[in-house]
């Protein structure tokens, strides 16, 4: 025998399936994002791990130089001399020894443009599929001599090359022409996981990639009969100090791990937005349940009258939440597969070439989705359930007595307390420890959640007057809304149920508050960045790289030789340990002084040579050093230096906190150098056009380089910021979409509730059109109210974040008025959109049926 509570719960859900459909949809989308984020990251990580297992499958041991500190996979290691291979090959148990060499190499398409890749563009040394590298040969033969190359099949296809074609490739030291003799694949794919890979025979690779008889590391294959660990020990004995031998397994794990970290960051961003959309969904769930409870007032009172206990009523409403949660979580997990597939497809269409991965749903994904999906639904259903339990049985006969129970609340006090604890937590997180740790930032996030809840709660108090004001102010075609009957009805209806109006608007408030906050921060960052750039950058040209790999050093060297240019300096970077902390150190030529104004306080930029270091005022103060004092530095390869402070400067926008000369860098590190960007100034008396022509001519040999003048550079930096913003806005729109669902849902429920009233209005002569208009205008009032709340909350949040951001990042606070006007106009559109179906439903009602309904 099923318990009556279970039966009532299930029947209750079934009877209202259309009313709770939108609720389910809201939860589904949140859960889909959560599970999608996990499924995607798990699957891609799994595929990448497999890829590296295949690529390094035959590498039993690897010899590389040691590092003093830092991340094993991303460290800049000194190269290993190829000569070392002979000694290793002579050891017992060693089957094969290969040089591992991987450098930047860009394929030029037949039309002369560089082949764009979403991943890096590589050139490697390759011994063919019989060697230790796990790459496969899909077509043609392996490259064996100078002038031959094999390219990964996917890149060759994209570039439009077939076997036998002559391919132009740009390496670190210049251009070369090669005959395409082979097409390679990786694992089960024909690509390089988003990278383009040019494979050369070892001798050609050494020359063309500018390796100077040094390899990144040495791969070793062990004979099947020998024990890998014994061979590892034997190699250890012959290795000079500064080198280590590790297993191929560990090496693959380190490399895959570094990539996995990037994927994890991506997954975390997705989870963040999932959290926002779930938070907004919670408002929708809460609202739907609250409305359904008040619509079932008589039914619930009847149940109480015939003997249902308060607890049974609680169980019933919570049970309905549980059913919604379970159904939505199940659908959400399926949706998660869709999200993962969709994002993969989206990125692949953009050329990311995610490795083909079987979608993996781990038990952790399922568990978290269930906990989150059901948890959020239940949490949102608790308050309506408690209210439902308060309905007195006498309301079965006198419904008017029941509504007072539904309206009792200590809202004002709770709201104010929540709001202020939210503001406190938020501010503590932002300001007490600027820059913040994960803990304080988490505090800020919780603070923001409390703040939103507080505002949502307090907004009930202002919902009625605000609705009245909005309906008076909103200039509807030709005359104010309140001058017409539908307008007045819309306005009164919004005021009649302030709690409902407020919580419906609150869902929109959360989304739009985040949008306003982001827009304030973005506008401030943009303004600060432009100001700083104008103030500190004096270079005429900037050269950056299209990919993130940096520029071949040869390019900067050739620019420096141009007579049309005056000062030219590359910007390199390395990592070092100073006072026990890992720091990024910039390496430049003293000419940089003409290109960037770093606002020197003491000393001179000319000290930027042999063994000197320049410091920003902050670290100088922290270390308590002045001009002539020394700083002890440990470089990543273990070398230590004692550098003398040559100057102290105040502007770190471009230069960062630490600067050394290029010559100092070359002395302490033999890792292959890469330029992040190059700055150049036009020589005296040369026109900007002539200089540009000369620079472009050099750049023609380095197709991956992008030459920009000041205005172009500034614009490209802003474009990058805008692209990032577009992604953030895109994801926030999702939360707003859920809020719109919420408005549509509330309006639909209200229309259902007012069936009798609408019948009456129609009976006394209101036209369908007017009825529709009245519903639509009410939705507009609600969304404009939500948008206004969002802006009022979001702008101060944005200002707070702008102020809290470090001065090197944000110096000015800007409120973007155009964005705010756009939000307000968009909210009207949102209202119209949300009202489409409810309005249609209201207009369709049959007059007689409607009047007969109670």
Partner 1 sequence: MTDVSTVVAAGAINASKIYGKDDSEVRALDDVTVNFVLGQFTAIMGPSGSGKSTLMHCLAGLDALTSGRVLIGDTDLAQLDDKQLTSLRREKIGFIFQAYNLIPTLSALENITLPMDLGGVKPDQEWLDTVIDKMNLRNRLSHRPSELSGGQQQRVAVARALASRPQIIFADEPTGNLDSKTGAEILAFMKHAVTDLHQTIVMVTHDPVAAAYADRVIFLADGKVVDEIENPTSELVLDRMKRLGS
Q: Where do contacts with partner 1 occur on this chain (CB under 8 A)?
A: 3-5, 7-8, 11-12, 14-15, 298-299, 302-310, 312, 392-394, 396-398, 854
Render the burial of 604-635: b for 16+ CB within 10 Å, e for the rest. ebebbeebbbbbbbebbeeeebebeeebebbb
In angstroms, what is the minimal distance from the CB of 5 to partner 1? 8
d(CA 455, CA 506) in angstroms, rounded, equals 8
Nearer to partner 1, 13 or 199 (CB): 13
Nearer to partner 1, 107 or 396 (CB): 396
In angstroms, what is the minimal distance from the CB of 749 to partner 1? 17
In angstroms, what is the minimal distance from the CB of 297 to partner 1? 10
d(CA 740, CA 153) in angstroms, rounded, equals 46
Nearer to partner 1, 306 or 349 (CB): 306
With 0-12 / 13-18 / 19 or more C-beta atoms within 10 angstroms meaning exposed / middle / buried, residue 83 is exposed
> Which residues, other chains included, contact 214 with Cβ-Cβ below 8 Å and sequence gap of 6+?
79, 80, 81, 82, 670
536 within 8 A of 598, measured Cβ to Cβ: yes
Using DSSP, state whether 170 is helix, strand or coil.
strand
d(CA 415, CA 425) in angstroms, rounded, equals 15
Backbone angles phi, psi at 463, to 5 degrees: -55, -45
In angstroms, what is the minimal distance from the CB of 786 to partner 1? 34
In angstroms, what is the minimal distance from the CB of 13 to partner 1? 9
Nearer to partner 1, 397 or 724 (CB): 397
Nearer to partner 1, 313 or 430 (CB): 313
User: Which H or E run contains 550?
Assistant: none
Nearer to partner 1, 394 or 473 (CB): 394
Nearer to partner 1, 803 or 851 (CB): 851
For 426-455, the DSSP string reads HHIIIIISTT--HHHHHHHHHHHHHHHHHH
In angstroms, what is the minimal distance from the CB of 475 to partner 1? 44
In angstroms, what is the minimal distance from the CB of 837 to partner 1? 24
Q: How far is CA 112 from CA 36, 95, 108, in A?
A: 40, 43, 6
Output the CA angle 803-805-809, nearest 5 degrees: 115
> Which residues, other chains included, contact 161 with Cβ-Cβ below 8 Å and sequence gap of 6+?
107, 110, 151, 167, 180
In angstroms, what is the minimal distance from the CB of 373 to partner 1? 25
Nearer to partner 1, 292 or 464 (CB): 292
Residue 435: CB atoms within 10 A of its CB come to 9
Nearer to partner 1, 302 or 417 (CB): 302
831 within 8 A of 779, measured Cβ to Cβ: yes
In angstroms, what is the minimal distance from the CB of 503 to partner 1? 26
Closest CA to 702 of 177, 308, 171: 171
Strands 196-200 and 121-125 turn out to be: parallel
d(CA 820, CA 700) in angstroms, rounded, equals 45
In angstroms, what is the minimal distance from the CB of 846 to partner 1? 17
Nearer to partner 1, 393 or 796 (CB): 393
In angstroms, what is the minimal distance from the CB of 745 to partner 1? 21
In angstroms, what is the minimal distance from the CB of 402 to partner 1? 12
Closest CA to 185 of 173, 174, 195: 195
With 0-12 / 13-18 / 19 or more C-beta atoms within 10 angstroms meaning exposed / middle / buried, residue 552 is buried
DSSP state at residue 44: H
599 within 8 A of 652, measured Cβ to Cβ: no
In angstroms, what is the minimal distance from the CB of 299 to partner 1? 6
Nearer to partner 1, 256 or 316 (CB): 316
In angstroms, what is the minimal distance from the CB of 854 to partner 1? 8
Nearer to partner 1, 15 or 650 (CB): 15
Alpha-helical runs (H) found in 615-709? 617-623, 662-668, 688-699
Render the burial of 126-144: b for 16+ CB within 10 Å, e for the rest. bbbbebbbbbbbbbbebbe
Nearer to partner 1, 314 or 527 (CB): 314
Using DSSP, state whether 629 is helix, strand or coil.
coil
In angstroms, what is the minimal distance from the CB of 520 to partner 1? 50
Using DSSP, state whether 824 is helix, strand or coil.
helix
d(CA 605, CA 647) in angstroms, rounded, equals 7
Nearer to partner 1, 8 or 782 (CB): 8
d(CA 166, CA 178) in angstroms, rounded, equals 6
- Give the chain's length: 854
In angstroms, what is the minimal distance from the CB of 308 to partner 1? 5
In angstroms, what is the minimal distance from the CB of 354 to partner 1? 48
Using DSSP, state whether 745 is helix, strand or coil.
helix
Nearer to partner 1, 396 or 739 (CB): 396
Tokens 């040394």: give the residue: 125
Greatest C-alpha distance within the chain: 104
Nearer to partner 1, 70 or 392 (CB): 392
Radius of gyration of the chain (CA): 33
Q: How far is CA 123 from CA 78, 99, 135, 181, 415, in A?
A: 18, 13, 13, 15, 62
d(CA 159, CA 153) in angstroms, rounded, equals 10
In angstroms, what is the minimal distance from the CB of 257 to partner 1? 55
Nearer to partner 1, 14 or 763 (CB): 14
Tokens 């540009």: give the residue: 692
Say what angle helices 297-305 and 399-407 make with each other, to 10 degrees. 100
Nearer to partner 1, 155 or 755 (CB): 755
């Amino acid at each position: 025998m099923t318990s009556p509570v279970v039966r009532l719960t299930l029947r209750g859900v079934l009877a209202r399936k259309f009313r709770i459909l939108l609720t389910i949809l809201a939860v589904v989308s949140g859960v889909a994002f959560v599970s999608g984020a996990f499924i995607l990251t798990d699957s891609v990580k799994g595929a990448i791990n497999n890829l590296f297992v295949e690529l390094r499958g035959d590498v039993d041991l690897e010899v590389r130089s040691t590092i003093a500190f830092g991340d094993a996979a991303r460290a800049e290691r000194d190269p290993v001399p190829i000569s070392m291979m002979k000694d290793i090959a002579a050891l017992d148990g060693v089957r094969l020894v290969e040089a591992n060499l991987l450098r930047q190499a860009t394929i030029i398409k037949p039309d002369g443009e560089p082949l764009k890749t979403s991943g890096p563009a590589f050139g490697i040394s390759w011994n063919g599929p019989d060697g230790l590298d796990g790459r496969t040969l899909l077509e043609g033969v392996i490259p064996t001599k100078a002038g031959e190359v094999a390219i990964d099949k996917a890149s060759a296809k994209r570039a439009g090359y077939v076997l036998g074609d002559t391919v132009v490739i740009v390496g670190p030291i210049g251009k070369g022409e090669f005959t395409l003799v082979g097409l390679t694949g990786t694992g089960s794919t024909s690509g390089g996981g988003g990278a383009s890979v040019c494979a050369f025979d070892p001798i050609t690779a050494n020359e063309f990639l500018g390796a100077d008889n040094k390899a990144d590391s040495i791969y070793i294959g062990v004979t099947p009969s020998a024990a890998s660990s014994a061979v590892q020990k034997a190699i250890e004995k012959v290795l000079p100090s500064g080198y280590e031998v590790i297993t191929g397994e560990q090496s693959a794990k380190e490399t895959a791990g570094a990539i996995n970290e990037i994927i994890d960051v991506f997954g975390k961003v997705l989870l963040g937005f999932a959290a926002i959309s779930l938070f907004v969904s919670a408002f929708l769930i809460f609202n739907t349940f609250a409305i359904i409870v008040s619509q079932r007032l008589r039914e619930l009172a009847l149940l109480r009258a015939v003997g249902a206990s308060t607890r049974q009523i609680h169980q019933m409403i919570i049970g309905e939440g549980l059913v919604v949660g379970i159904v939505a979580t199940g659908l959400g997990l399926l949706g998660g597969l869709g999200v993962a597939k969709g994002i993969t497809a989206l990125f692949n269409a953009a050329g990311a070439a995610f490795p083909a991965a079987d979608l993996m749903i781990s038990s952790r994904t399922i568990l978290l989705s269930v906990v989150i999906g059901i948890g959020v639904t239940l949490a949102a259903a608790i308050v309506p359930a408690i209210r439902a339990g308060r309905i007195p049985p006498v309301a079965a006969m006198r419904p008017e007595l029941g509504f007072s129970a539904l309206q009792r609340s200590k809202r004002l006090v709770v709201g104010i307390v929540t709001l202020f604890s939210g503001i406190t937590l938020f501010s503590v997180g932002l300001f007490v420890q600027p820059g913040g740790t994960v803990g304080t930032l988490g505090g800020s996030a919780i603070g923001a959640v409390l703040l939103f809840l507080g505002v949502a709660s307090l907004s009930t108090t202002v919902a009625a007057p605000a609705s009245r004001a909005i309906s008076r102010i909103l200039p509807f075609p030709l005359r104010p809304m309140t001058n017409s009957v539908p307008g007045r009805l819309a306005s009164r209806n919004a005021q009649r149920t302030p709690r409902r109006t407020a919580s419906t608007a609150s869902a929109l408030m959360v989304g739009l508050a985040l949008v306003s906050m982001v827009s304030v921060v973005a506008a401030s960052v943009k303004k600060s960045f432009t100001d700083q750039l104008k103030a500190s950058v004096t270079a005429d040209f900037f050269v950056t790289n299209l990919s993130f790999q940096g520029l071949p050093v040869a390019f900067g060297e050739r620019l420096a030789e141009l007579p049309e240019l005056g000062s030219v300096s590359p910007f390199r970077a390395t990592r070092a340990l100073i006072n026990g902390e890992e720091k990024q150190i910039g390496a430049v030529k003293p000419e940089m002084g003409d290109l960037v104004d770093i606002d020197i306080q003491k000393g001179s930029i000319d000290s930027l040579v042999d063994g000197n270091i320049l410091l920003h005022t902050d670290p100088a103060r922290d270390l308590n050093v002045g001009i002539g004092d020394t700083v002890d530095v440990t470089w990543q390869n273990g070398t230590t230096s004692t550098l003398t402070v040559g100057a102290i400067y105040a502007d770190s926008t471009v230069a960062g906190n630490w600067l050394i000369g290029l010559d100092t860098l070359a002395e302490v590190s033999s890792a292959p150098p890469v330029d992040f960007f190059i700055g150049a100034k036009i020589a005296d008396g040369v026109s900007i056009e002539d200089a540009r022509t000369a620079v472009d001519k050099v750049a023609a040999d380095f197709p991956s380089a992008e030459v920009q003048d000041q205005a172009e550079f500034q614009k490209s930096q802003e474009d990058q910021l805008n692209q990032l913003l577009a992604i953030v806005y895109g994801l926030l729109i999702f939360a707003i979409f859920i809020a719109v669902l919420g408005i549509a849902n509330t309006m639909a429920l209200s229309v259902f509730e007012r069936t009798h009233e609408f019948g009456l209005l129609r009976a006394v002569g209101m036209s369908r059109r007017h009825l529709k208009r009245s519903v639509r205008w009410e939705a507009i009032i609600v969304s404009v109210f939500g948008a206004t709340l969002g802006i009022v909350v979001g702008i101060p949040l944005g200002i707070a974040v702008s102020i809290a951001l470090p001065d090197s990042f944000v110096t000015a606070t800007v409120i973007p008025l155009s964005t705010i006007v756009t939000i307000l106009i968009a909210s009207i559109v949102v209202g119209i959109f949300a009202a489409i179906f409810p309005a249609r439903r209201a207009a369709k009602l049959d007059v007689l049926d409607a009047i007969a309904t109670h």
